[in-house]
Amino acid sequence: MTEERLAALLAQVASGDISPEAALERLRKFPIEELPYAQVDHLRPLIQGYTEVVFCEGKNTEQIIGICEALERASGTFLATRADDAAREALRDRFPRAEVNPLARTVHLAPQPEPGVTGRGMVLIVTAGTSDLPVAEEAATVARALGNRVDVLADVGVAGIHRILRRSELLNEASVLIVVAGMDGALASVVGGMVRVPVIAVPTSVGYGASFGGISALLAMLNSCASGVVVVNIDNGFGAAVAASRINHLPS
């Protein structure tokens, strides 16, 4: 239940267009809708400003569809992350209007009418290499779903540092940056030393054996000497996007 839908429902009751009993029936599954396998949180949009996001890993197709149906009934929208091929195909069949992103492993059903951008600036997502794009695309999809203007600058890692240095104008247009990098994770420190806005670093599991599945990049980012760099967990494009969106929606 979004703030807009709740306000519209209350206005209908006040105007006499619907009865209090009918409104109560609509709210019967608010704030929590109990499914056999999930407690769907319909209060989330009123508290945090966005609908509960469905993490698909570990859920079967029936559970994913059921949760997404509950969210769609209540708010007209849902966002599913870490959806495998079977889950994406099932969601596409059930919700033909949904936007499916195989690279990001996301499925997003936007509300109708689709709201415009509400963030005050641009969220810029920067990747060290093309191999980091799946995590970056997850961040981009989530950030857009949360009402942000998003741009992606890909494959500008420190192995060819001139690639990022020549894009300083774009870096300075952003209100918050998400830097996605594996290997040694050095790109976050480089970008952090070039801008005056917050930098959210995302270590990825991309790298050779001694990268330890992203731990090397994680530790390097945590030890960045650049001011204003904060770090989320390995491959956590979703978490980075939510944090960036909250920054981007702060009053100016």
Sequence-distant (6+) residues with CB within 8 A of 62 are none
Residue 2 pLDDT > 80: no
- Residues 53, 142: Cα–Cα separation, whole Å: 9
Secondary structure of residue 21 in the 3-state scheme: helix
Contacts of 228 (CB under 8 A, 6+ apart): 192, 196, 197, 198, 199
- Report the CATH fold assignment for 122-248: Rossmann fold (3.40.50)
CA dist 96 → 44, 65, 91, 108, 158 (Å):
25, 13, 8, 11, 41
Domain boundaries along the sequence of the chain: 3-109, 122-248
d(CA 59, CA 66): 11
pTM of the model: 0.87
Work out the percent of the chain whose per-residue pLDDT is above 90: 74
pLDDT in tens, 88-145: 999 999 999 999 999 999 999 999 888 889 999 999 999 999 999 999 999 999 999 9
DSSP 59-88: --HHHHHHHHHHHHHHHS-EEEES--HHHH
